[in-house]
Chain A
Amino acid sequence: MATTQEERTGVETVARAVRRFRKFVDEMPAEVLVALAVMTLSLLGAFVGFLLVSSLTIVPFLVFLTSAAYGWVRYQGLTAKVLALSTTIMTILILLLITVFIFLEALPTIRFMSDTVFGIEVPGLGIFTTQNWDAVSPPINYSMVPMIHGTVLVTLIATAVAAPLGVAAALFLSEIAPAAVREVVKPGVEILAGIPSIVYGFIGFTILSPWASDQFSLVGQGSYVFVGIIVGLMALPTVVSVAEDALSSVPESMKSGSLAMGTTDWQTMTSITLPAAFSGVSAAVLLGVGRAIGETMAATVMLRGVPKLTEPIFNAFYGQETLTSLIARNYGEADGLQMSALFVAGVILFVTVLFLSIGSQYIEWRMRKKLGGEV
């Protein structure tokens, strides 16, 4: 494993790479170079063919397989390295492809929903400035405001459930629980994460929703509050496992030092462990929020599917629609502009969650740097 390189300027890096490449070309026999070139080009060809929906995609792919097999037999080490590199590139490509494709599909609606501000037409602004979603009867309008409202309410409630309970459970697992109890509770939390969201949704739909309607004399079924609670339960394991990692990454010497001063365990937790792991714990909560935003099936099954704001706006006892459930409910009969509007919802979700993920990674990275561990 290579150690971390000191900072280099971009030009130097490129120059070094070119030099290394020249040296590589000079040293290798021509046969190897040809095999490598064929592999790379055929894989590229297969990718382009796949992108262009060509039925001939199979041809470069077969060429790639043959050349890879040949390389594997003759120069196994080099071929393995090249294959490993190409899998890495494909992993990044998938994220790029997701970004590009959902943006492309969302474009028509973004153009359709333009709005003017200070006399300048801004595409996509209407999605946020208007308030009604109407896909069937004119005037057709695709506002995301009701769904964003729903997602925000559900996420707030879910966070209120998952964050305190999750952090407390993480404290319990990492600091308090005796080994035997820990061995029971930890897999329990993991299994909680394993229960499919549709099963949560089913139980919520058949048991919780009727119960809630009864308790609060609601008209019909479906409320953001109880979807939020169920989603919070689903986000809980994420919060627990990430927060637990953060708590146990606090150096043992810090905790022992505090205990040696005669503090109780709880004092050590509140004054040493939690403050030291604070950024990691907040990253855990951020990731939990991301999970809650993206949760689909429970929301789809339990909500009413009416894309409207509730009245008054803080009335979370009525659950209309979230960004995720809008997609899951309407993909069937949607086409054209409406389908594109669903992709707009997807873009909003994707971008929000990506930001949360990057944010939490940045926080974790800073924490590890601060605690003096490996970065």
Chain B
Amino acid sequence: MATDFGVDEESRDTLVQSGTSSTRALAAFAVAVASVLFAISLTALFEVVTISEPIAGVPVTALLGGLLILLGGTVSMFGVGSRLGYVETDPRASAGLVAGIAFGGIWFTVASLTASQTFGLGGLGWFVVAPVIGGGAFFATILPREDVGSTVPAGALTALTGAVFLLDVIGPQWVWDLGFPDAFFVAVTAEFTIPTLTLFCSLLAGWASAKAYGGFGARGRHMGAYLLVYINALSIVGVLFVLLAFTIFKGLPGLFRGFAIGAGTGPTSTIVLFGTDITWTWPFYVPFAMEGVGLLNEFNGVLPAIFGTIWLVIGAVVFAVPLGVGAAIFLTEYAERGRFTQVVEVATNGLWSTPSIVFGLFGFAFLIPRFGGNKSLLSGALTLGFMLLPLVVITSREAMIAVPDEYRDASAALGVSKWQTIRSVVLPAALPGVVTGVILGVGRIAGETAPILLTMAGAPFTPGSETVDVIGGFQFTGAPPFVSNPALLEATSALPYQLYALITAGVGLGENVASPDQFQWATALVLLMVVLSFYAVGIAARYYFRRKLQYQ
């Protein structure tokens, strides 16, 4: 895009463009029509609006077709009007190679599909038609001035699509069989094609009209590009929002089945502190999070899986954080920067991008034989610890490197030893970064399924009585290794695995789960809540520390 840098041949003397309001309004109208079409096509794609049923007496295809022709017409008219001098714009000599290749490619595809599928021309016909039309579009884009080159090919395509819909060439009953073998049969239906084509044309024409709104030239390109970039950012946030909202909406009924609130409704819990039992009764009852699965249960829940996940995370953190922080201290404070640190850096980054299932395989081959030969909580936690380790090293290193050298120098100038400096100056200053990194990393491993699938997962439907009790499980024995903890060496369930098991088990969950669908979505929701709460805490911690540092 080196051409962008050149000064326009026809650039004007005015610094600020005082675009006339009426012509601007026409371009803004085109942008508005494009966004309406964008919205309709999205709703149609997700079957909120059905293609075959008319809206207010007008068939959807006719409506879309009409709007597309209107949009295409407006966009082309604007470009031609600008060329003939009716509209005051600031175009360049050409729309540029990138636009030319894009339009040429699009028209090439359209022409080849039409030639081979609609008109049934054979290889020869296709060979003639597609390059001619594609090449034509390419030259129609780059040869004329920018105002025509960037609007007419887009407008024409949009209008053509509109006409195709309006004339019922692609109607609600349209199907395109790709002609694959029977076992791999694929046919593209109108329910998919019509919204997708509309979506594409509205984006294309929307881009062209945003360019027109900016008066073409550098400003117009800026406008067109910003429109697309903003739509992209919006749709990413939109996808996130839809995913979360959908899971919450579907999961809440299952989560609150049998919900009760009031004194004495909840289960009774006991913890032993300093030899005395402290017992209390929860003032609310959420069976899904407080019960296991049992034949006699009125409501079933995932309590054992929740505890499994908690213990997994604790185990992974206990293993990975001291190791990772220690390694980061050595690399940033003690080691000389050179080959060795470079190798460790490459190794940690490599470890960080290693697929989780490979960690699972490693845990299966390395840890399981060393912890009693069967799947266990301990091997699961260590496997997740291996996954967490590189992240702890990377984020701790970043946090320690970010501590200004003046801190270290000032401390050293006071005659404080190196280790004392690290302990009382570097570590406290780096702590926020380390904590944030660890929390975000924990959020990631808490939702990992693949490694625990191979190293830890036991029966997915665990009765409430089999909830792991790591603290109560420690026993001291006379023979080496002197300490044993059956709770650590047994397989248990965890939330992500529970969800996986629920999916693969399908509808046949057995009679002890009343409505499988609700149970699945509620499990997904609980898992999402656990993982996202780690993220929320991590992100909040980062903001908190950053603000605090700024005030300093």
Contacts and interface: CB of A to CB of B under 8 A. Distances in A.
Q: Do A and B come from one complex?
A: yes
Interface of A: 1-5, 50, 53, 55-59, 76-77, 80-81, 83-88, 90-92, 94-95, 97-98, 101-102, 104-105, 165, 168-169, 171-173, 176-177, 181, 184-185, 187-199, 201-203, 205-207, 211, 214-219, 233, 236, 263-267, 270-271, 287, 290-291, 293-297, 300-301, 310-312, 315, 317-318, 324, 327-328, 331, 342-343, 346, 349-350, 353-354, 356-358, 361
Given A84-B329, A194-B531, A195-B531, A176 B453 contact: no
Contact of B419 (A2, A77, A95): A77
B449 A197 contact: yes
Given A55-B481, A101-B366, A264-B219, A297 B500 contact: yes
B527 A199 contact: yes
Contacts of A169: 232-233, 236
Q: At the interface, is chain B mostly helix, strand, loop or mixed?
A: helix
Contact of B449 (A95, A297, A318): A297
Contacts of A206: 520
A234 to B, nearest CB: 11
Contacts of A207: 246
Interface of B: 1-2, 4-5, 47, 175, 180-189, 191-192, 218-219, 221-222, 225-226, 228-230, 232-233, 236-237, 239-240, 243, 246-247, 322-324, 326-327, 329-338, 343-362, 364-366, 369-370, 386, 389-390, 393, 405, 408, 417-420, 422-423, 440, 443-444, 446-450, 453-454, 479-483, 496, 499-500, 503-504, 520, 524, 527-528, 531-532, 534-535, 539
B454 A331 contact: yes
B351 A95 contact: yes
Contact of B358 (A83, A195, A201, A294): A294
Contacts of B345: 361
A217 B532 contact: no
A169 B237 CA distance: 10
Contact of B2 (A50, A91, A202, A271): A271
A331 B528 CA distance: 26
A233 B356 CA distance: 17
B393 A91 contact: yes
A263 B189 contact: no
Given A191-B535, A294-B353, A358-B346, 19 more contacts: A1-B333, A53-B369, A81-B419, A88-B344, A95-B351, A105-B365, A169-B233, A187-B539, A190-B535, A194-B440, A196-B528, A205-B503, A266-B221, A271-B4, A291-B353, A293-B355, A318-B186, A327-B450, A346-B358
Nearest to B454: A331
The 5 A-B residue pairs whose C-beta atoms are closest, nearest first, are A294-B355, A196-B447, A87-B326, A77-B419, A84-B330
B353 A356 contact: yes
Contacts of B246: 203, 207
Contact of A4 (B247, B337, B539): B337
B361 A87 contact: no
A310 to B, nearest CB: 6
B218 A264 contact: yes
A342 to B, nearest CB: 7
A102 B331 CA distance: 28
20 contacts: A4-B337, A53-B370, A58-B480, A77-B420, A87-B323, A91-B351, A91-B389, A105-B361, A165-B236, A168-B232, A194-B440, A195-B243, A195-B528, A216-B192, A218-B186, A295-B355, A296-B450, A327-B450, A346-B361, A357-B349
A267 B218 contact: yes
Contacts of A293: 355
A42 B264 CA distance: 54
A234 B324 CA distance: 26
Contacts of A287: 353
Given A97-B366, A354-B350, A357-B350, A84 B229 contact: no
Given A91-B393, A296-B356, A327-B357, A58 B481 contact: yes
Contacts of A311: 180-181, 183-184
Nearest to B373: A53
A61 B321 CA distance: 19
A85 B365 contact: no
Contacts, number: 324
A315 B327 CA distance: 48
Contacts of B352: 357
Contacts of B440: 190, 194
Nearest to B195: A215
A193 B186 CA distance: 32
B500 A76 contact: no
B459 to A, nearest CB: 13
Contacts of B218: 263-264, 266-267
Contacts of B496: 196, 198, 297
A362 to B, nearest CB: 9
A302 to B, nearest CB: 10
A201 B357 contact: no
A281 B233 CA distance: 17
B361 to A, nearest CB: 4
A203 B243 contact: yes
A50 B369 CA distance: 10
A343 B365 contact: yes
A165 to B, nearest CB: 6
Q: Specify which of A58, A92, A193 lies most central, judged by the most chain B CB atoms within 10 Å of its CB.
A: A92
Nearest to A56: B480
Contacts of B347: 91-92, 95
Given A265-B222, A294-B357, A188 B237 contact: yes
B535 to A, nearest CB: 4
A307 to B, nearest CB: 15
B361 A192 contact: no
B323 A91 contact: yes
A98 B362 contact: yes
B229 A218 contact: no
A196 B448 contact: yes
A342 B453 CA distance: 14
B408 A1 contact: yes
A216 B358 contact: no
A357 B186 CA distance: 37
A194 B349 contact: no
Contacts of A349: 355, 357-358
Nearest to B329: A84
Contact of B4 (A102, A172, A270): A270
Contact of A198 (B324, B370, B417, B499): B499
Contacts of B4: 263, 267, 270-271
A202 B520 contact: yes
A146 to B, nearest CB: 14
Given A172-B233, A311-B183, A215 B531 contact: no
A310 B421 CA distance: 62
B408 A95 contact: no
